[in-house]
């Protein structure tokens, strides 16, 4: 049996390393190799870190490893250090958290096989491959949140993703060695310089309060008494006539005295 996995304990942290092709010996119908992997995994309970650097390989071996990691009693952190391609990308999806190195790549494509036989056997093989593709796409869709049909199109195109692209498409949760961006802090509102919306609200409340105060004062203040109408000017016609007669009498007396 050619083991392509390696468990190590470093400072108390469980680590599983998948280096090179996944299963140079097929796991199809093999009862020994999958059982040995599960036994090795069970010997490392608790949280585990899975380092992946693999071009892929046997889809059934990858499926068995994926299932064993999903069933593992502990948190599984996957770290893609260089390449997680083909079947290795399936294993990567088993992580509760998937981290990828800035220089690493992840590749997905449709399953392939070698078949012999007549046309019926060829059609049967093609149907089996379609079922495998749908199963793999469902795993990608569950991890990324992308529609399964979208994942199938990406597989058909043999999609290579660098760290940033894997992050954007949901195949990775973060890029190794890069600090997560801090959320933008909301500007603090101070009494001296309130936010525009708050300032507008305060002005509105102040204006409403001022209007209410003015109405209240107006209701409490008695209305001013109406100004008296001007009295009609007296008719001085008789007075002027008497004065004129008196002046004439005085003038006549003065003339007689002369």
Catalytic amino acids? 86, 109
Contacting residues for 205 by C-beta, under 8 A, at least 6 apart: none
- Alpha carbons 191 and 214: distance in angstroms, whole number: 26
Residue 248: exposure state from Cβ atoms within 10 A (0-12, 13-18, ≥19): exposed
The two tokens of residue 66 are 């994926």
């Amino acid at each position: 049996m050619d083991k392509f996995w390696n468990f190590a304990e470093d400072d108390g942290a469980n680590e599983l390393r998948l280096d090179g092709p996944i299963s140079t010996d097929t796991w199809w119908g093999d009862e020994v190799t999958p059982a040995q992997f599960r036994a090795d995994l069970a010997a490392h309970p608790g949280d585990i870190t899975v380092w992946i650097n693999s071009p892929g390989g046997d889809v059934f071996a990858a499926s068995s490893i994926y299932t064993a990691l999903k069933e593992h009693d502990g948190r599984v952190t996957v770290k893609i250090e260089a390449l997680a391609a083909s079947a290795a990308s399936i294993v990567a999806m088993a992580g509760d958290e998937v981290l990828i190195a800035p220089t690493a790549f992840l590749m997905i494509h449709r399953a392939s096989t070698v078949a012999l036989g007549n046309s019926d056997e060829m059609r049967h093989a093609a149907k089996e491959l379609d079922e495998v593709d749908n199963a793999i796409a469902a795993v990608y869709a569950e991890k990324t949140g992308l529609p399964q049909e979208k994942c199938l199109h990406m597989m058909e195109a043999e999609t290579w993703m660098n760290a940033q692209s894997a992050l954007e498409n949901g195949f990775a949760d973060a890029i190794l060695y890069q600090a997560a961006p801090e959320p933008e802090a909301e500007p603090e509102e101070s009494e001296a310089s309130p936010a525009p919306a708050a300032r507008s609200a305060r002005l509105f409340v102040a204006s409403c309060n001022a209007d209410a105060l003015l109405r209240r004062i107006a209701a409490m203040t008695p209305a001013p008494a109406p100004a008296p109408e001007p009295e009609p000017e007296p008719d001085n016609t008789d007075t002027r006539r008497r004065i004129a007669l008196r002046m004439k009498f005085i003038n006549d007396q003065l003339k007689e005295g002369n």
